[in-house]
């Protein structure tokens, strides 16, 4: 988690919440009637194999059900601004660890 959040500001780091299990996410990030919450998104890591294992990290990104904005011309949809950068950051960390520990 420290590596993923290394580029975060202090305010962003203060907003991070760690829960005991994925079933606790809805309680940590409750949604209102518009399906929005104060949480940016949530990541549930289901399986994190060792870097030498060769298996991918199994994770689920959870976001508000109210993410509905789509703009295919300007690429400013909710998914492009929230979910894609988060997924890229997770995959970047995984790639870093694989390259760090699995060198020839």
- In terms of Cα–Cα distance, which of 69, 65, 90 is closest to 79? 69
DSSP 82: I
pTM for the model: 0.69
pLDDT score at 20: 92
pLDDT above 60 (res 103): no
Evaluate whether 43 touches 62 at the Cβ level (below 8 Å): yes
Q: Please identify which residue in the block is written with the tokens 């606790």.
A: 24
Strand residues in the chain grouped as ranges (E): 42-47, 58-62
End-to-end C-alpha distance for the chain, whole angstroms? 26
| Tens digits of residue pLDDT in 10-64 | 887 888 888 999 999 999 989 899 888 888 888 898 888 877 777 888 889 888 8
- How would residue 68 be classed by pLDDT, with cut points 50, 70 and 90? confident
């Amino acid at each position: 988690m420290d590596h993923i959040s290394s580029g975060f500001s202090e305010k962003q780091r203060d907003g991070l919440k760690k829960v005991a299990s994925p079933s606790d996410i809805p309680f940590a990030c409750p949604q209102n009637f518009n399906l929005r919450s104060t949480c940016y998104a949530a990541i549930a890591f289901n399986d994190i194999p060792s870097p030498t294992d060769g298996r991918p990290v199994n994770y689920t990104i959870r976001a508000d059900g109210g993410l509905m904005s789509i703009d295919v011309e300007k690429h400013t949809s909710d998914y492009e601004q929230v979910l894609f950068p988060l997924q890229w950051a997770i995959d970047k960390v995984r790639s870093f660890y694989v390259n760090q520990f699995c060198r020839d």
